[in-house]
Structure 1
């Protein structure tokens, strides 16, 4: 078990209405080049499952938060009622004492012959006429006057005490009614949470099976895409061979004006392309690439299918930069950071891109975060964390520059944008399970109860130029307030697909987009805060109905917004999957039926081997990867101990619960783990330490890769 990560986002929108996904579909921004239809279909299937899972998570989370809030309100109301009842009881005692004193004074007045009126109920509460005649009596008898004044004063105190007692009694009655009502509401919401939990568990159990099937099919279609790209490359090599032109050295093609005999410049948009040439045979023009470039592309193709590994450089796994480095060796050795690659190699205009070129992705605010080897047809070969392997994939729309290694160093200085540590951690060498967007508050983009949940992220449809929906739609009335989800810097745009678009840069590569607005209430460069009005819902641009199209982008890539709004932390998931929705095929076994994210599993097995060498037996483990359905089940049974479903690190495959002595503070086994586990990347979180927020000696999390 672990502590729910609720920092940063408000889990609300209690008035939201979940609708079927068959609502009107709305338009998206155009992509670079869409992948083959078959691959796109399966990717959408995976994304659709993720979107549906996130919607279920959001629905359950909102019900849970509503219940939690109602329970807190009921407890506060009960405390207020008890306090009011105690105060009323005390006040009644004071009123009774004042009435007793009035009785004594009245009895004395009666003995002195001061007239009193005996009403139908009681002499003590029929003194008003006497009070009116006391002054006449006092004119005759000083002693009687003094007693009369005392009687009137006591009467007033008694009446005030009685009035205050009645007021406090009414207040206590009102507060008791409110407490009873709050308790009934909490009880009803508790029943709803239990039903939501049962529904969520059943839905997730079905979707987990579907996810495994879709993931397996996606792998098959990715392999087909890889093979199709290789076949196109091999066709090109065959055409080049047929020209009987031997690919020249890179140096011979650097200057389009001084090419080897028989070769002519290759042009793009009327400009000669350096580093490549052309030859015409029987009226057919064939591109001629350098021998070094051909070798680099061949080597890149040989890496297809190799598993993704954080910062890995082969031969078994490859990280963000690893595949590109291996492809271009031994001709050149790329630096070990993408940001350091850009200053060292000549950039060429994007329209002149050729196979073998290095494609670096990023932005000025984010830095350079990813790299691939260019192919034709808007594709590239890259180590892709979401795919879990080196694959052929579409060039993303955050392409920053095209570099051609065969042209050598740049003719003019090329200064790479400064990358933040968070940006680097997210793309190249990512071991984090979530994207930290700071501790500031978040809000939903529309007010509670003003919208429905419409077309989800990843849904397919011909109305989108990419064939894939890149955001989450919220159908709402025109003019409904649109709010910034968190603080950032505004940029206002008017692309054709969106009409009016507000883009907010939140730093470290995180952006949110708000499209189809009927009105924009902010300006370029303006700083906004969470919940601040930035515009109003409309139907501008390529839209078939009034709605807000909301996107979250990380490093320029659209990601599913719903986990951000559902989990209580700005979680991007891992490998493109939601918490608790990772297919078994993307996880690695550690024995006894337990699974972890593969880098965490490798580190765990090394840790277990060291533990076995010390104690003569393997680590005792009770829990590892936890599906969303099992998180819900645990939350039903132990709501005070378990994390809110969808927030557990068990759901990312990077947490374990241990036994065999490690589960008790102060034991030899526990002390050994505290001393040695960090060397393998396994940490005991501060909140779980002795004296922490929740003492759990058994809970350990994978935080850093094993040092190499």
Structure 2
């Protein structure tokens, strides 16, 4: 990943964003081209996704600022009311004590004490009283006793009055603070409304572009496939021109015992087993085994084949399927990725060569994905996000490289076991949904210490992945950086990040904090949410101080903003962002409503069962929501709607129902509670009666019981 220091690359409608919300001076991104026309239909899917992510980042920040201000205003209002109540009680008490002093003064007057107490003003001036009482103290004991009582009462009344004045002043100050907080909340509320209107307008035209962008993305993938094939064919031509006949794998297994004419291939000074070199026409040619070349050729022949969960061909291929077919008949890989790792010799990642098996995963997640290595940092693999077997970059969660031609490992290799509650991930994509749990989730930088920089998903040639894999927070060097939630630290120093803290939160969830000027935690340390882990810097490939923050699910980078904004998020599928799914990728159900196709099929089965029981059509009011429609709904119903970009409606896996289901306790609602889960549709706990947000009408598609 190569990082820059200039303003982010904003496409099409986001040219307008710059006029509304200026990006900070430093951000991860290349120099931007001139803004594209809003009528430019040649924007790629990745560009459209970047636009949505940028709008979402700005909208989420404004919304969170408003939410915090609203909470502060509510707290200040409660504090002011409490102070005003205390001041009122104290004032009443002071009046009571003053009244009592008046009675004592009147009594002294009636007893004929020589004093000037007859006026109201003398209630608060005891000096003359004290002198006159002292003059007659030796003559009249009763009068002396009355005077002493009057002095004590004066002191009590004065203390009560002073306390009343103090509390009144305190209440006045707190009322002013409450009014100021309320005014700030109102101002931020108006900003949110303005940003909501802008976001809805900015995204309005994208729905029509999505199908075209999806097709463009497909064409770009085909071009990448073709470029990789050309590079491979160039290598094969080089072998043919040099009249090299690829030897059997057994011949190349030991670099110290190669036949005449072949020399060991070295990487970083170390010989590479299973590969050799040969001098031909003044050039050094890399020599792969015949079995390896055959495997890579077979892998290329699978490009474009549709993805299918656990499929092994010939029509569809799952995570393991393409690699398994590529290496047959030389060897038959086990039927699970985790079982492949113990059976074949691992090689250093610095020695990866074409044909190697690349396994992806982590200690907490297990091994979940496998590909066939190519040159140029690429591999051939089944990819659910792309919907087919494709050429793709080797992902960041590469766990190991295996070389089938070297046979069984010299030392035992034990695959990491997934945690018992690990999320079910699929190759090339994350699970349909993921909830970070009930634990605390905070922002990596304190409010007011940063500006939003380059957003997740921004396209650009300077990133190895082709897009920005994190969210940047521009801040001064030394600004404290905090863990967003609890986990175990791993400290790394890759060239692109300089100083990097990676925190494993379990179940396939990781967060990354890059370019740090200082690291305050140790490798293997357990940290809690909000704990300081380092400080903002500009280390690595960065030309300005900022925090580059990433969230990974199953090793795949995902947009951090939904996590930061809500503390939990349902993650995407098929390579599309929330609310940014082309209509061609959705399936209709009824009355123009659409869902993700597996959710739609399950909904139709549920609707059939519902009709059989009630004789009525299952009533539906809402299904898939575009990002623009989510923003519009949030602007109208912020207390009910999810933050745009986080709603399960935006993934096409949620519906709002009617016809009686929208009320707790009805026969229709009770039937749904009892029978909908059998079809994979559930009523989330938060929407239950007594939940955090009661919505009897809201239902979500999850895993069927048999899955």
TM-score by length of 2: 0.80
Cα distance in structure 1, aligned partners of 2:422 and 2:67: 35
- 1:579-622 residue CA offsets vs partner (Å, 9 max, x unmatched): 32333344333343222223322322333333344445543221
* Aligned 1:239-318 pairs, distance under 5 A: 253-256=249-252, 268-269=265-266, 274=274, 294=294, 300-301=299-300, 303-312=302-311, 317-318=316-317
Matched, 1:599 2:602: no
After TM superposition, give the deviation of residue 684 of structure 1 in Å: 1.4
Cα distance in structure 2, aligned partners of 1:522 and 1:209: 48
Task: For residue 425 of structure 1, give the secondary structure of its aligned residue in structure 2.
Answer: coil
What is the alpha-carbon root mean square deviation over aligned residues? 4.3
CA contact (8 A) 1:48 1:456 kept: no
Call closer, same or farther: CA 1:284–1:58 in 2, change over 3 Å: closer
Call closer, same or farther: CA 1:697–1:298 in 2, change over 3 Å: farther
Cα distance in structure 2, aligned partners of 1:85 and 1:25: 48
Cα distance in structure 2, aligned partners of 1:399 and 1:144: 98
Give the structure 2 partner of residue 663 of structure 1.
662
- 1:201-236 residue CA offsets vs partner (Å, 9 max, x unmatched): 222324555554432210122123334555666788
Matched, 1:426 2:425: yes
Give the structure 2 partner of residue 145 of structure 1.
144
User: How many aligned positions are there?
Assistant: 672
Give the structure 2 partner of residue 115 of structure 1.
114
Cα distance in structure 2, aligned partners of 1:551 and 1:413: 34
* Aligned 1:51-70 pairs, distance under 5 A: 51-70=50-69
Cα distance in structure 2, aligned partners of 1:590 and 1:314: 30
Q: 75-84 or 642-651: which moved more?
A: 75-84
Matched, 1:179 2:178: yes
Give the structure 1 partner of residue 537 of structure 2.
538
Structure 2 portions without partners, runs of 5+:
1-18, 31-40
Cα distance in structure 2, aligned partners of 1:333 and 1:540: 45
Cα distance in structure 2, aligned partners of 1:240 and 1:609: 62
Cα distance in structure 1, aligned partners of 2:610 and 2:242: 63
* Aligned 1:360-371 pairs, distance under 5 A: 360-364=359-363, 366-371=365-370
Cα distance in structure 2, aligned partners of 1:646 and 1:637: 16
Call closer, same or farther: CA 1:125–1:626 in 2, change over 3 Å: same
- 1:422-451 residue CA offsets vs partner (Å, 9 max, x unmatched): 656233597733444454333333333333
Call closer, same or farther: CA 1:242–1:360 in 2, change over 3 Å: same
After TM superposition, give the deviation of residue 562 of structure 1 in Å: 3.8
Give the structure 1 partner of residue 96 of structure 2.
97
After TM superposition, give the deviation of residue 459 of structure 1 in Å: 3.9
Call closer, same or farther: CA 1:698–1:266 in 2, change over 3 Å: farther
CA contact (8 A) 1:359 1:402 kept: yes
CA contact (8 A) 1:356 1:373 kept: yes
Matched, 1:580 2:591: no
CA contact (8 A) 2:253 2:275 kept: no
Matched, 1:654 2:656: no
Q: 348-357 or 418-427: which moved more?
A: 348-357
- 1:370-414 residue CA offsets vs partner (Å, 9 max, x unmatched): 112344554332221222332222233443334455666556533
CA contact (8 A) 2:50 2:459 kept: no
Give the structure 2 partner of residue 31 of structure 1.
none
Q: 540-549 or 619-628: which moved more?
A: 540-549
Task: For residue 602 of structure 1, give the secondary structure of its aligned residue in structure 2.
Answer: helix
Give the structure 2 partner of residue 13 of structure 1.
none
Cα distance in structure 1, aligned partners of 2:577 and 2:445: 23
- 1:490-531 residue CA offsets vs partner (Å, 9 max, x unmatched): 444444444444444444444444333333334434443333
Cα distance in structure 2, aligned partners of 1:626 and 1:591: 15
Cα distance in structure 2, aligned partners of 1:594 and 1:266: 64
CA contact (8 A) 2:343 2:408 kept: yes
Call closer, same or farther: CA 1:466–1:659 in 2, change over 3 Å: closer
Cα distance in structure 2, aligned partners of 1:442 and 1:131: 66
* Aligned 1:95-494 pairs, distance under 5 A: 95-117=94-116, 122-229=121-228, 253-256=249-252, 268-269=265-266, 274=274, 294=294, 300-301=299-300, 303-312=302-311, 317-325=316-324, 334-347=333-346, 357-364=356-363, 366-375=365-374, 377-404=376-403, 409-410=408-409, 412-421=411-420, 425-428=424-427, 432-461=431-460, 468-494=467-493
CA contact (8 A) 1:502 1:514 kept: yes
Cα distance in structure 1, aligned partners of 2:540 and 2:284: 43
Give the structure 1 partner of residue 684 of structure 2.
685
CA contact (8 A) 2:477 2:546 kept: yes
Cα distance in structure 2, aligned partners of 1:363 and 1:86: 58
Task: For residue 473 of structure 1, give the secondary structure of its aligned residue in structure 2.
Answer: strand
Cα distance in structure 2, aligned partners of 1:203 and 1:271: 56
TM-score by length of 1: 0.80
After TM superposition, give the deviation of residue 139 of structure 1 in Å: 0.9
Task: For residue 152 of structure 1, give the secondary structure of its aligned residue in structure 2.
Answer: helix
CA contact (8 A) 1:19 1:452 kept: no
After TM superposition, give the deviation of residue 351 of structure 1 in Å: 6.9
Q: 296-305 or 518-527: which moved more?
A: 296-305
Task: For residue 472 of structure 2, give the secondary structure of its aligned residue in structure 1.
Answer: strand
| Higher RCO by CA contacts (8 Å cutoff, separation 6 or greater) | 1
Give the structure 1 partner of residue 33 of structure 2.
none
Call closer, same or farther: CA 1:615–1:324 in 2, change over 3 Å: farther
Structure 1 portions without partners, runs of 5+:
1-16, 29-41
Give the structure 2 partner of residue 640 of structure 1.
639
Cα distance in structure 1, aligned partners of 2:458 and 2:219: 20
Task: For residue 426 of structure 1, give the secondary structure of its aligned residue in structure 2.
Answer: coil
